[in-house]
Amino acid sequence: MARIGELDLCDRLSPTIPVWVTQIAVGLITSGAARILRIGFDLVAGGAAPFALIYPAIMLATLFARAFAGAVSATVMILYIWYYLFPIRNSFRFENGAGPLSIGVVTVTAIITIAVAELFRRAARRATQERDREIADRDLFLAEFDHRMKNNFAIVAGLLDMQKRRAADPATADALGVAQMRIDSIARAHRHLYRGGDQPGMVEMRDYLGDLCTALSEALFLRGGITLTCDTDEASVPRDRAVSIGLVVNELVTNAAKHAFPGRDIGAILVTFRNVSGGGWIVTVSDDGVGLPEAPVVTGRDNGLGGRLIEAFARQAGGTLRTDSDRTGTRVTLELGA
């Protein structure tokens, strides 16, 4: 119904073409198309039901170009059929008293059809306008919400940065810096969510992870020989899962930057995001550092906060973690089902 409200040719062609010209043209086109079909029907049915095609013709004309176009189509069709087909060919004369009655009935039903089609067209137009207003209101609300959320994220990040600068204990300053990066990861997912993609509630992972890796590279002061590379497939992921994936990547890259290259100025960290045939995705964060310690890492209360957060974020994303490490580096894989 809303689509019909968008098909008003008078609005679409105005002011280039005057409304009345459009209406007459549409009336003539629909009546002409009906006459062509009438010729085809006559070859098969031999003139049966001469007025049958009037009603679809005038209905289409009215829906596309308003009531006047329907009236033009109806007038042309009735006069054409009256003169050429009914009741005496090539004449406006009637054989008997039933002829005028037939023409009168067709005229009245044509007027009723035009009225019904016009009422329907106006209802569809009102529905379309109401939908457009709702969309405009929604976009305004989302823009306001987006603006406020950006301000909130900026305030939180600013407070963390201020506390980090004032912290005398290096460990405290480091913890505040990590928290600031986590907030930034969530904020970036939010920004990509409200960029107006074709799929509401979805985040484009190529843009999001590329943006996140750029920010991490700058925040972790990865310069010179230590590089961070992001290689991702195109994929749209629901907002909540995208945020969890970004937080996992944030923690893993931060850990690699801090612990994978002790005493080294050269190294590489690679983040990949791949689509899996059959559904799902695989996220990997790998480095060519010294690898994990040979002693097993104990999970539980004594385990580091970063490790527990990674596991928690992976569960939130609906994925499972696998870690492979040796002297040539560490590779952490997050497998995500569809």
12-44 pLDDT per residue, tens:
888 889 999 999 999 999 988 888 887 777 677
The predicted pLDDT at position 117 comes to 92
Which pLDDT does position 304 carry in this prediction?
Answer: 63
Q: Which of 89-93, 252-256, 301-305, 315-319 has the lowest mean pLDDT?
A: 301-305
Same domain as 322, residue 249: yes
**pLDDT of the residue at 195:** 57
For residues 96 and 234, membership in a common domain is answered with no
Across the range 223-240, mean pLDDT stands at 86
Under a CB-based contact definition with an 8 Å cutoff, are residues 321 and 302 in contact? no
Q: Of the residues 100, 118, 133, which one is the last residue of a structural domain?
A: 133
Q: pLDDT tens digits for 96-129?
A: 767 788 888 888 999 999 999 999 988 888 888 8
Tokens of 316: 């939130």
113 and 193 in one domain? no
For residue 275, the cross-strand partners are 281
Any domain includes 177: no
Banded model confidence at residue 273, pLDDT cuts 50, 70, 90: very high
For residue 97, being part of any structural domain is answered with yes
Mean pLDDT value across the chain: 82
Across the range 291-311, mean pLDDT stands at 63
Q: Is residue 170 part of a domain?
A: no
DSSP string across 136-189: HHHHHHHHHHHHHHHHHHHHHHHHHHHHHHH--SHHHHHHHHHHHHHHHHHHHH
Is 265 inside any structural domain? yes
**Is the residue at 178 inside a domain?**
no
Is the predicted pLDDT of residue 4 greater than 60, yes or no? no
pLDDT score for 303: 47
Would you place residue 238 in the very low, low, confident or very high pLDDT band (cuts 50, 70, 90)?
A: confident
> How many angstroms separate the CA atoms of 305 and 109, rounded?
79
How many structural domains does the chain have?
A: 2
CA 20: distance to chain centroid?
A: 38
pLDDT at 298 over 70: no
Task: Concatenate the DSSP letters of all residues of 240-253 into one string.
Answer: HHHHHHHHHHHHHH
Same domain, 120 and 210: no
201: domain CATH number is 3.30.565.10
Out of 8-12, 178-182, 316-320, the most confident range is 316-320
Q: Are residues 227 and 331 in the same domain?
A: yes
CA dist 19 and 12 (Å) reads: 10
In a shared domain, residues 232 and 316: yes
Confidence of residue 249 (pLDDT cuts 50, 70, 90): very high
Question: What local confidence, expressed as pLDDT, does residue 48 receive?
Answer: 62
CA-closest candidate to residue 121, choices 59, 165, 164: 59
8 Å CB contact between 34 and 77: yes
Domain boundary among 101, 133, 165: 133
Whole-number Å distance between alpha carbons of 333 and 324: 8
For residue 70, the SS3 value is helix
- Statement: residue 2 has pLDDT above 50: no
Q: What pLDDT is recorded for position 109?
A: 92
User: Is 189 in contact with 173 (CB distance < 8 Å)?
Assistant: no
Write down the pLDDT at residue 170. 84
* Interatomic CA distance for residues 146 and 129, integer angstroms: 25
- 102 and 16 in a single domain? The answer is yes
Apex 264 CA angle, 256 and 325, nearest 5: 40
> Quick one: 330 and 192 in the same domain?
yes
Same domain for 105 and 201, yes or no, is no
Question: Residue 270's pLDDT band (boundaries 50, 70, 90)?
Answer: very high
pLDDT band at 193 (very low <50, low <70, confident <90, very high): low
The residue that leads in pLDDT, 136 or 330, is: 330
Q: Which domain holds residue 116?
A: 2-133
Is residue 149 in some structural domain?
no
H-helix or E-strand spanning residue 231: strand 225-232
Q: Kindly state whether residue 145 falls inside one of the protein's structural domains.
A: no
The verdict on 23 and 109 lying in the same domain is yes
Q: Which of 100, 115, 102 is nearest to 49 (CA)?
A: 102
Same domain, 13 and 114: yes
Q: Backbone phi, then psi, for 329, in 5-degree steps?
A: 140, -175
Residue 11 lies in a domain: yes
Note whether 44 and 124 are same-domain residues. yes
Q: Categorize the per-residue pLDDT at 135 as very low, low, confident or very high, splitting at 50, 70 and 90.
A: confident
CA 226, distance to chain mean position in Å, is 38
Alpha-carbon distance of 73 to 111, in angstroms, equals 11
